[in-house]
Structure 1
Amino acid sequence: MIRIAVANQKGGVGKTTTAINLATALAATGLRVLLIDLDPQGNASTGLGIGQALRECSSYELLTGQATLEEVVVQTRVPRLDIVPAKVDLSGAEIELIDFERRTHRLDAALEAAETHRWDVCLIDCPPSLGLLTVNALIAAHSILVPLQAEFFALEGLSQLLQTVERVRQRFNPELSILGVALTMFDRRNNLSGLVHDDVRACLGDVVFKTVIPRNVRLSEAPSHGIPALIYDHRCPGSEAYIALARELMARLPRSKAEAA
Structure 2
Amino acid sequence: MKTISIICQKGGVGKTTAVVNLSTIFSKKGYRTLIIDLDPQGNVSTYLNFDKNTKNVTSSIDLLSGVTEIFTGELSENLSIIPSNKEIARYNDEKIIGGAKISKLKKYGLFNEFDFVFIDTPPTMSSLVQEGIAASDYYLIPTKPEFLAIEGVAQAMSFAKTTLKNIPNVNAIFLGVLLNQVETRRASYEEFLSELEYLLGDRLFKTKISHLTEIADSPFYGKTVIDFNKESKARIQFNKLAEEIIERVDKNEEIT
Compute the TM-score of the two structures, normalised by the length of structure 1.
0.89
| Aligned-residue offset at 1:255 | 5.4
Which residue does the alignment assign to 2:174? 178
Cα gap change, 1:217/1:68 in structure 2, threshold over 3 Å: closer, same or farther?
farther
1:1-261 to 2 correspondences below 5 Å: 1-54=1-54, 57-65=58-66, 67-71=67-71, 73-77=72-76, 79-95=77-93, 97=94, 105-172=100-167, 173=169, 175-254=171-250
| Aligned-residue offset at 1:141 | 0.8
Q: Distance in 1 between matches of 2:170 and 2:38?
A: 22
Q: Is the 8 A contact 2:4 2:136 kept in 1?
A: yes
Post-superposition Cα deviations, 1:72-121, rounded to whole Å, max 9, x if no partner, equal x11103x10111111111122324x45xx767501111222343221011
Paired residue secondary structure (2:178): strand
Q: Distance in 2 between matches of 1:257 and 1:50?
A: 34
Paired residue secondary structure (2:53): helix
Q: Distance in 1 between matches of 2:126 and 2:119?
A: 15
Count residues in correspondence.
252
Compute the TM-score of the two structures, normalised by the length of structure 2.
0.91
Q: Distance in 2 between matches of 1:163 and 1:53?
A: 36
Q: 1:45 is aligned with what amino acid?
A: S
Cα gap change, 1:224/1:69 in structure 2, threshold over 3 Å: closer, same or farther?
farther
Q: Distance in 1 between matches of 2:36 and 2:68?
A: 13
Q: What percent of counterpart residues are identical?
A: 28
| Aligned-residue offset at 1:40 | 0.6
Select between 55-64 and 221-230 the one with higher mean Cα deviation: 55-64
Paired residue secondary structure (1:82): strand
Cα gap change, 1:157/1:148 in structure 2, threshold over 3 Å: closer, same or farther?
same
| Aligned-residue offset at 1:218 | 0.9
Q: Distance in 2 between matches of 1:6 and 1:243?
A: 17
Paired residue secondary structure (1:35): strand
Q: Distance in 2 between matches of 1:129 and 1:34?
A: 22
Q: Which runs of 5+ in 2 are unaligned?
A: none
Q: Distance in 2 between matches of 1:231 and 1:117?
A: 27
Q: Is the 8 A contact 2:52 2:84 kept in 1?
A: no
Q: Distance in 2 between matches of 1:248 and 1:131?
A: 28
Q: Distance in 1 between matches of 2:29 and 2:241?
A: 13
Q: Distance in 1 between matches of 2:98 and 2:131?
A: 8
- Give the structure with the larger helix fraction: 1
Q: Which runs of 5+ in 1 are unaligned?
A: none
| Aligned-residue offset at 1:183 | 0.3
